[in-house]
Chain A
Amino acid sequence: MSVHNSIHTGKEITLTIDGKVCKSTFGKTILDVARENDIYIPTMCYLTKVKPIASCRMCIVDVEGVDGAILSCQEKATDGVVVTTNNSELYTERQNIMKLYNVNHPLECGVCDQSGECDLQNKTMEFDVSDQPFTTREPHRPIENWGHVSYDAGLCIMCEKCVRVSTEITGDEALQLHFGGYSSTILNVKQDKNYASLGEAAAVCPVGALVDTHFKYTANAWELEKIPSACPHCGSGCQMTYEVRHDKIYRMSNEAEFTSLCGAGRYGYDYANKNVTKDAKAFEKAVEAVKNAGTILFAPQISNEEAFILQKIKEKTGVKLVCSEAGAYQKFMQAYASVTGSQLFGGTLKGISDSTVIIVLGTRINDDAPIVKYHINMASKWNRARVAYMHPLRDAEMNTIVTQFIKYEPESEECVAALLVEMLLRDTEVPKEVKTFLNTLDIANLGAVSKVDEEALEELRKSMLKKRGFSLVIGADLYAHPRAQQIAKILALVEKYAGFNVVCVPPAGNAMGVSLICELDDEVTGKTVGYNVKADFVLSALGNGDLDMPALNQQEGTLTTNDKRVVPMNVAQSYGGYVLNDIANALGLDAEYTIEYTKALPSEKGFKSVAFDTLSDYFDTLGIEHRGYLLEVCETAVEEKFEAVAKLDSFDGAVVYICNPKEQFSAFTHLCELLKEEAFLLGSSEFATVTKLNDGERVSFMIDGVMFKRVFKIDTSMKGTIALNPTYDMGLSAPLVSSYRFSRVEIQKIGS
């Protein structure tokens, strides 16, 4: 089964555009073909990453033998057509469109934030519209502040890009059109929630109507130095650009035409470790500490090169390396690879958005990896994909996307995985060992233990019969599960035999890179050195350790993304202190700069021997990504051995689920001014009844030896006896919380 069920696989066609003979495949629009062949067709409302909006009519072309103009953005190119993209009539038509766009448009470019990168400005110049010949009565439309973004209806040209992005890409569905002739506006129907994902809508706005509130009127587009980089917060490593002036980051932008950035990426940028100078004494102590350390603990918010330096230090001194989240992911992927025979999962994000059925298992995906959620949303909106969301907790934010919520008991993921695999492989030819394993499964018992609704599974199976292009999204609940390796093996069967596009979303930061580069250990022995983790000696980019380190926006390096790509990061803010490479050099390694390790990254793990400075970082005019390189597929030994599904303890009573809100990933996002939010223990009223807690009560509890002191809040959108406990505000302790995400805890009230 192929996931690439898109129509792009059609037959070869030949057409003529402006006298140029263009070869392409059926299914592409005239605009696509023109762009492929470097032929310019002006557009105003066209946004590559969403379906054609067709509201501006700027992209009109003449097709021989067809009366009237054709919208090239939505009209499919057919074999043999002769297209003219420009003649005097088309020019006049376009000029008239621009005149109408300029009706009452304020002539305040001098103070407009978009000035200098404004589509309206550019096209007005291009079509030589030097005055405003038409006018109308201007309705009173005050500027609205929606939190992260502000909306000025007076500047809006109603291209609908923002609405489409909010619906088709981010899925917050906050923006809607209000029709009313000239007084049409964009409405924010969810103003009670401050969606950072609306930053994505502001990014695609061609004029100054939607702008970032914090950025408004603080600088001009041309004054900001644009530094391309990758977002280090979650495992997605999205393309983004720091816009910097006077060593201060003013805002984040991205290649909004082709790619997306979540709220945390867009507004979580000011976490740099500032005003650091070289403290030689602390450095000496740090070198001594690393030399004598039994274990180096580190957080997964780290570049590939730094991880490689730690690995080198391990090889030199024999120190143990512990990064619990990445370690769990490493083991999970090794078990997964032992079945598939390939080191990494086979799926891609593009594959998710092309799917017609998507199963999400073991992750609160909207909070864990917003970009993956965006791709699920795209599939839901474009292919009307069926989304089966399997999790013990319903997520109200996913309601508009999820077709089917399948609930299971915490810790029963192994049973769920087995049930799922049995369902998917029931009618598929599989080798004997797998067949035996499937036959030994006691379906009724598994269903009873996990409390999965069998009818729901059956419904899902039936819905898949006539469809093709399936995806499975696997998340962090499974990596830290006590039976993670067995689950990995079971789910690997889905990729291998059911032809699914499987994506194993990395649990945090650059966990995927770390899991590929470092040989990680489980046990902590001897004296400990922590890199952004609490330990005997702490190297910290959070500014509270024994030796300062640069944050990820202060150093060069590469990240490994969940799309299996190695992408470069560049320096956005200056840093005056010591870096990890200095410590490594003091221990006898030899590299002038950290990035000298980029080409030394292990090739047996799929990394290429490419120097950092030669890594590309752009999207071409067709939107094809040229950032860094894709990891090469490395084969591993196949060994299909399965254990029987383990028995479970019952998981009754109040349960706490470790989960950061969707704009928070780590202690670094917590430092960001624009994302400031207080951390609560969030539970339903049912949870409150079970634990005898009241709304607003202060509680304390322990997870993995970390003491949490929180205010308990009742969230009316939640149900069941599972509460959400974030870790992003725990600073250096956050990476220590690494066991299975659901835990039974003893909650103590404070001050009662």
Chain B
Amino acid sequence: MSLEQFKNRNIGTQNYVALDVGKPPKSGLCQFKQVVKRTFKGELFVGLWVTMKAMLKALFGGDMHTIQYPFEKLPISPRYRAIHDMLRLLESGNYRCIGCGLCEKICISNCISMDTRYDENQRKEVSEYTINFGRCIFCGYCAEVCPELAIVHGPRYENASEQRAGYSLFEDMLTPIDKLNLQQEYDGFGAVSPNADENIKKTPLAY
């Protein structure tokens, strides 16, 4: 659409059309008559009908334009950086986290704190893991640096809380074991690129 007509500020040169709005009532009686006339003409229902049509369309026609927040939420971009999730391995259900401590190291607001230990299976295991969401600036470095795609940003973006410090534990962020089938792969920063398969090299450990 051209913006010319809006930029022309020389009133009088445009093609104005005068509307026939009739004559305004002159006496008090005339005014009263006008009110009565308009009231009983039924114009109101013309407008209400339009509303009614839209409502029926939304309710029964599947054409709803609003959502029932907070019961419903709009989907957000996979690159949005919200509250972290801790993912599990799909096959075994084990934690993906290997306790390497890179997220703790890279965190620029120092909000990640972790402790690790030597577990019964001779593996390094996270024994304590907390993120202080009062400090977290959701920069996404932790997800990007994670070599195992264990810590990722999830879709939970509501951060309102009663206190400034809000700690989240490892278990709070971990995919519940019974909802493992619902676990979404992360597509944000640090995720595997779509053509990752082409770039894979064989390891030398051929045996």
Interface residues of A (CB under 8 A from B): 104, 110-111, 131-135, 137-138, 143, 213, 216-220, 222-223
Contacts and interface: CB of A to CB of B under 8 A. Distances in A.
Contact of B117 (A104, A133, A213, A217): A217
Given A134-B204, A135-B204, A135-B207, A220 B124 contact: no
A111 B124 contact: yes
Contact of B116 (A132, A134, A219): A219
B99 A111 contact: yes
A665 to B, nearest CB: 29
B100 A111 contact: yes
Given A111-B124, A217-B117, A217-B124, A104 B201 contact: no
Nearest to A115: B100
B118 interface: yes
Interface stretch (B2-10, B42-50, B101-109): B101-109
B203 interface: yes
Contacts, number: 49
A111 B98 contact: yes
Contacts of A132: 203-205
B101 A223 contact: yes
B102 A110 contact: yes
Contacts of B116: 217-219
B117 A223 contact: no
A222 B206 CA distance: 33
Given A217-B125, A223-B104, 19 more contacts: A111-B98, A111-B99, A111-B100, A111-B123, A111-B124, A134-B204, A135-B206, A137-B207, A138-B207, A143-B122, A217-B123, A218-B115, A218-B118, A219-B101, A219-B116, A220-B100, A220-B101, A222-B105, A223-B101
B147 interface: yes
Interface string B124-152: 11000000000000000000000100000
A223 B99 CA distance: 13
B205 A135 contact: yes
A217 B101 CA distance: 11
Nearest to B125: A217
B8 to A, nearest CB: 66
Nearest to A108: B98
Contacts of B206: 135
Contacts of A216: 118
Contact of A131 (B104, B118, B204): B204
Contacts of B147: 110
B155 to A, nearest CB: 27
A217 B122 CA distance: 9
B102 to A, nearest CB: 7
Contacts of B99: 111, 217
Contacts of A218: 115-118
Nearest to B206: A135
Nearest to B115: A218
Interface in B165-207: 201, 203-207
Given A111-B124, A217-B116, A104 B101 contact: no
Contacts of A143: 122
Contacts of A222: 105
Nearest to B147: A110
State the majority secondary structure of interface residues on B. loop
13 contacts: A110-B98, A110-B147, A111-B100, A111-B123, A131-B204, A133-B204, A134-B204, A135-B207, A213-B118, A218-B115, A218-B118, A219-B115, A223-B104
Contacts of A133: 204
A135 B99 CA distance: 28
A218 B203 CA distance: 29
B123 to A, nearest CB: 8
A131 B201 CA distance: 10
A110 B100 CA distance: 5
Given A111-B124, A143-B122, A104 B115 contact: no
A345 to B, nearest CB: 46
Contacts of B104: 223
A496 to B, nearest CB: 56
A564 B130 CA distance: 48
Contacts of A138: 205, 207
- Name, among A133, A217, A218, the residue most crowded by chain B CB atoms within 10 Å (CB to CB): A217
Contacts of B117: 217-218
A222 B100 CA distance: 11
Nearest to A103: B204
Nearest to A136: B207
Nearest to B100: A110
A220 B207 contact: no
- Counting chain A CB atoms within 10 Å of each CB, the highest count among B100, B104, B123, B203 belongs to B100
A207 B22 CA distance: 97
A170 to B, nearest CB: 25
A96 to B, nearest CB: 15
Nearest to B207: A137
Interface string B78-119: 000000000000000000001111101100000000011110
Contacts of A134: 204
Contacts of A111: 98-100, 123-124
B100 A217 contact: no
Contacts of B122: 143
A132 B203 CA distance: 8
B105 A104 contact: no
Nearest to B105: A222
B205 A217 contact: no
Question: Which 5 residue pairs spanning A and B have beta carbons closest together?
Answer: A110-B100, A135-B204, A217-B124, A111-B124, A132-B204
Nearest to A152: B122
Contacts of A137: 207
A143 to B, nearest CB: 6
Contacts of B124: 111, 217
Nearest to A214: B118
A143 B122 CA distance: 8
A273 to B, nearest CB: 24
Given A110-B147, A111-B99, A223 B105 contact: yes
A69 B104 CA distance: 45
B122 to A, nearest CB: 6
A143 B205 CA distance: 20
Nearest to A245: B115
A218 B114 CA distance: 10
A223 B114 CA distance: 11
B120 to A, nearest CB: 12
Nearest to B116: A217
A339 B137 CA distance: 73
Interface centre among A133, A216, A219, A220 (most CB of B within 10 A): A220
A180 B201 CA distance: 31
Nearest to B127: A218
B143 to A, nearest CB: 16
